[in-house]
Amino acid sequence: MSDRSPAGQFLDAAIDLLRRVRDEEADSIAAAGTLLADTVEQGGRLFAFGAGHSSLAAQDLVYRAGGLALMNLLAVPGVVGVDVMPAPLGSALERVDGLAAAVLDNSPLRAGDALLIISLSGRNALPVEMALHARALGVKVIGVTSVAYASETKSRHSSGTFLKDHCDLVLDSRIAVGDAELTHDKVPAPFAPASTVVTSALLQAVMATTATTLADRGIEPPLLRSGNVDGGHDWNARVMEQYGDRIFYRH
């Protein structure tokens, strides 16, 4: 019997979304993992970008125990997280034309690299231009978004397009427009967002696929270990020395 408490309802909703992603995005997850494995094998570098709360899922991939050491955060000043003051400034910067191009032109990204762009709505200028400009540089782009926004909202980019329209691969988080899973007859707005839980799990599924694909090709995946287990620091130092020219979060 299911738990009908608010906590139980939210967890059930999150579990249902995770099941949908598992069942409906399996092919896309496999393709994304293969694309990243190809990039690693061919000497490319890996980057992840997200604005606002979407940045949480990007940050979850970087310098992470059990994660790929080669994943770097592409940071855009003012939109990396909710520590921006005032907080609405971060949302406003997502709608600024030209910001993505300026960031990419001053980043280490180059042809042959891969970039994960995470944007729940995919409608703002920043993720759309990020994808457009990155692909023009010869970077492979994987968009992580809720495709439903493209049919239920209007783009905020001058082209009228969404992130999903400018990617080599798209991963659909299946999050409903508004990102709130619960309602209550005495609460005037829906509440309990699940996008962080689902998007983080979706991306970790991609990372697991990448690591396994590399191993199946006879290539040891460049994984980090926890610094809180014996030998972890020595292991990580070896990986970082071996791949130092493809790791940018140490400088």
Q: Identify which of 14-28, 52-66, 98-112, 155-169 has the greatest average pLDDT.
A: 14-28
- Asked if pLDDT for residue 90 goes beyond 60, the answer is yes
User: From the centroid of its chain, how far is CA 235?
Assistant: 26
Mean pLDDT across the stretch 184-198?
95
Identify each DSSP E strand in 64-206 by its residue range. Answer: 71-73, 114-118, 140-145, 169-172, 182-184, 187-191
pLDDT score for 104: 92
Q: Mean pLDDT across the stretch 78-97?
A: 76
pLDDT value, residue 1: 53
pLDDT of residue 2: 60
Give the pLDDT mean for 28-56.
96
Q: Is the pLDDT of residue 141 over 70?
A: yes
Percent of the chain with pLDDT over 90: 82
Is a pLDDT exceeding 90 seen at residue 82?
no
- Summarised one tens digit per residue, pLDDT across range 114-139 is 999 999 999 998 999 999 999 999 99
CB 179 within 8 A of CB 194: yes
State mean pLDDT over 226-240.
95
- Summarize the confidence of residues 88-114 as an average pLDDT: 86
Both structure tokens of 68: 């790929």
pLDDT score for 52: 85
CA dihedral 118, 122, 127, 129 (to 10 degrees): 150
Q: Is 9 helix (H, G, I), strand (E, B) or coil?
A: helix
- Alpha-carbon gap, residue 158 to 19, rounded angstroms: 35
Q: Flag whether pLDDT at 78 surpasses 80.
A: no
Q: What is the mean pLDDT of the chain?
A: 93
